[in-house]
Structure 1
């Protein structure tokens, strides 16, 4: 069967050519224009001799050129590999070498790093988006849009790789998850329907488009249902609130730290305008944050979902305010199975006392890790993708994430789930960020350390924080150290980087909190 994901753009452009697809701070771009520009890019890529199976790397932020490049690459029948613009030269070189990328599209700000990486890997053409003059030898992205647009979408098999999305997974160096045209189409179609997307919706693309959440659950779903999206390059709470109001956003999607930041930035002075649904993913959302967010923004409902790069994004979802359950990631989407298994892959019954690994099977599971058959065989066994997340399900089929398998703390023989402690920490008024990690301990194996950052203008007391935990947690779960910081380290998607905190505590990496004004409290527990 032939099918190309670029069909979703063609069909929406044909139905509503003058409908705005992209809102930016400077312009509004219609479906017809994005379709036409991407067709020109497709023609240019084919003219350069690129063929089905070849990979094009795109290292751009949330810009129109990212969207045009994405659909141009798909339309040409090629594979798109999105890259985080914050990657170092060494990391860029690794991705280019491992993927065998034939061409790179980047910005003028990322050009120097990309050129140095290409010098290490070998000759690869580089096209750069720029408003000004480029260094000698650089090729402007605009030249890709000078070709006569292709009339047709290049035919691809439905199981051809559309997107090569690199992820570290549970262990080891980054691996390229191969997501097919069919998987991505199914995910945006089913996910968009569950979220109730219509052509009248205005979604918010503040999540990085190089991440599966922003790309599949937001951009693809927006285009599939003929809606519009607001492109925001950098998450700044006041700017985001202004953009939501200015463009009449109806759907917001983000990670928990974004919700917390918007909550504290608004401070009751600004609302979310027309936003009816706020979608949370990427990390577990503390129930107290959901309650506070909805209390501060009446009329907006927070719905939590779950997914991974290897599952093309959406895997489970709380489909409505009436059916959702606080603390739950919801139930599996149509066509997807989710189960809880023990260390021998045997199914585990329902209930919070039956914690095991979350496994997924269905149309959304990746084709495999690119050129890594052993890693694929290890992660996907009998069709079930092993997520590396610990959780349980209740009797009604709702799933709950307890923690990442790698984040589990074993203290004195007891299993301690950091998320449970973090939920308690977020109950404290004024806590903006919280994370719990394990630190190596000669006597107990691991000791519990909590990192807490206060909202602007709030002062926290470490002793009071610890007392709050003692009153709500069993003694073996209470953090023995509380570190009060100005802020916690965040990744490109806004998720708290526990790895950095863990490295700092165990002396295995550079300090993530240097010069951050951290204070420490030692407990006698």
Structure 2
């Protein structure tokens, strides 16, 4: 038996009075988080939810997310986290595809959630906040106290604990089936390697509906009894305020968050001296951003690598002493990683041996929900194919070059957008940049850069092109520059390149 909710029960038993949740409304102890999630488990069971049933969780980073999350798990049900930015048709698709029985949402998204639920034929809706004039019932109905500790439902390690939908860069999003054992080990092993402690306070600004926030922040924190400092919506001010208020020691973020924090003016209101380390993942962090952040804040950034299907850790730089700058680290315990050429042959270490990153181990999903063909393709040859391109150095550190599907082939030459973006981020007038391939009748594809300039006089496009031309091979530098006020971002803060072009 292994029910993922055991990570909460054990931490609540070990140190019941230690803060589990910190937010602008106060704190919730591990004892209270355990008790409140017990109430949710009991309420769901009374409403007919059985082990293996799906319950959709459509909440931002508010206390009700971990309360509901662990309650669903305790009842033996499967958590289906939904991005709070989804519109009604997208909600309907994921509710239908996952076969969810209930939906827990919040007042800020209730209108879209109710429409989506109606389209999916789902009637059981509970909402945090006002529910006036809707078919939803208040979430408080699920938190009526139990008379006794709720027993964890019997679940096997191979049973699904969560179905998390991919971003859907091609086609419709697919639901990755993440198991109890997979999520437990992805909380336990990276947490041990990283040496997270019960006196740590982790800034939880990454969306909990995303696997990075759910697995690598929330589950890891709860497994080791740390406090989660919840930030409902990322802004530099909100994060720096939470760090100051809660004396946070760890900040988990994606590269766009570090870029935004760097752009925040110095302010005496913020005290970040309590931070001991930052963790970057979800996308490749530009070298310029990493160096500038460490210099300004005096805190090391440890970069890791993972994805929804691996929930999430594959490789990690485990400490400031044992890291390789600009690398995503080495495979964590129990995880195998290789680099394959297009014919499925393993490539040796070396920057010249770029190939697809493949992996296998406890960390990989059971499969894509109701997608046997997609699952078989993803696990071709017995290894999970990440779709990322990279290489190992001689010391076993992995370097990610780019997404396989984002590779630009210009006149027969391979152009890796990340390499061009690294150069653009070093330009003093560039705040953010994203590089994509656009159709070209002569070359097949041309290199185009979308640039968010820094405040002040806008840089000249030709000057930026010239800057890149001096630092990149002739076939690599962008010929097209388009300025934007911002770049489209996913709910997890990744640049949505599919919306550019």
2:395 matched to 1:379?
A: no
Per-residue deviation at 1:170? 5.9
Which runs of 5 or more structure 2 residues have no equivalent in the other structure? none
Corresponding residue for residue 286 of structure 1: 286
Corresponding residue for residue 158 of structure 2: 159
Corresponding residue for residue 406 of structure 1: 405
Corresponding residue for residue 142 of structure 1: 140
Corresponding residue for residue 204 of structure 1: 203
Per-residue CA deviations over 1:339-373 (Å, capped at 9, x if unaligned) read 10011211111111111110110100000111111
2:39 matched to 1:40?
A: yes
CA separation of 1:224 and 1:12: change in aligned 2, threshold 3 A: same
Per-residue deviation at 1:275? 0.8
Per-residue deviation at 1:52? 1.2
Per-residue CA deviations over 1:66-99 (Å, capped at 9, x if unaligned) read 1100000000111000000111111011001111
Alignment of 1:79-228 (within 5 A): 79-130=78-129, 132=130, 134-146=132-144, 148=146, 150-168=149-167, 171-228=170-227
Corresponding residue for residue 501 of structure 1: 500
Per-residue deviation at 1:147? 5.2
CA separation of 1:322 and 1:123: change in aligned 2, threshold 3 A: closer
SS of 2:357's partner is: strand
Is contact 2:392-2:399 (8 Å) kept? Answer: yes
Q: Which is worse superposed, 312-321 or 69-78?
A: 312-321
Corresponding residue for residue 476 of structure 2: 477
Distance 1:458 1:259 in 2: 23
Per-residue CA deviations over 1:130-189 (Å, capped at 9, x if unaligned) read 0x4522532100001115255311111111100100114663211110101110010011
Distance 1:266 1:250 in 2: 21
CA separation of 1:268 and 1:317: change in aligned 2, threshold 3 A: farther
SS of 1:42's partner is: helix
Q: Which is worse superposed, 376-385 or 356-365?
A: 376-385
Is contact 1:168-1:174 (8 Å) kept? Answer: yes
Q: Which is worse superposed, 186-195 or 452-461?
A: 452-461
Q: Which is worse superposed, 375-384 or 179-188?
A: 375-384
Alignment of 1:233-312 (within 5 A): 233-267=232-266, 270=270, 272-298=272-298, 300-312=299-311
Per-residue deviation at 1:382? 3.6
Per-residue CA deviations over 1:102-130 (Å, capped at 9, x if unaligned) read 10000112222222122222143000110
Is contact 1:127-1:139 (8 Å) kept? Answer: yes
Per-residue CA deviations over 1:243-296 (Å, capped at 9, x if unaligned) read 111110100011111101101104476552211111000110111111111110
Distance 1:12 1:250 in 2: 19
Is contact 1:205-1:232 (8 Å) kept? Answer: yes
* TM-align CA RMSD: 1.4
Corresponding residue for residue 13 of structure 2: 14
Distance 1:124 1:386 in 2: 38
Per-residue CA deviations over 1:377-403 (Å, capped at 9, x if unaligned) read 000124311011111111111111110
Corresponding residue for residue 71 of structure 2: 72
SS of 1:3's partner is: coil
Distance 2:429 2:169 in 1: 32
Distance 2:25 2:265 in 1: 24
Q: Which is worse superposed, 472-481 or 449-458?
A: 449-458
Per-residue deviation at 1:428? 1.3
CA separation of 1:81 and 1:53: change in aligned 2, threshold 3 A: same
Is contact 1:43-1:150 (8 Å) kept? Answer: no
Corresponding residue for residue 25 of structure 1: 24
SS of 2:301's partner is: strand
Per-residue CA deviations over 1:429-455 (Å, capped at 9, x if unaligned) read 242211100000010000000111123
Aligned residues: 499
Distance 1:17 1:36 in 2: 10
SS of 1:483's partner is: strand
SS of 1:468's partner is: helix
Distance 1:496 1:136 in 2: 34
Is contact 1:431-1:453 (8 Å) kept? Answer: yes
CA separation of 1:48 and 1:484: change in aligned 2, threshold 3 A: same
Per-residue deviation at 1:458? 5.6
Distance 2:261 2:213 in 1: 18
Is contact 1:184-1:312 (8 Å) kept? Answer: yes
CA separation of 1:118 and 1:464: change in aligned 2, threshold 3 A: same
Is contact 1:357-1:387 (8 Å) kept? Answer: yes
Corresponding residue for residue 505 of structure 1: none
Distance 1:417 1:267 in 2: 35
Is contact 1:5-1:162 (8 Å) kept? Answer: yes
2:416 matched to 1:417?
A: yes
Is contact 2:131-2:137 (8 Å) kept? Answer: no
Q: Which is worse superposed, 11-20 or 269-278?
A: 269-278
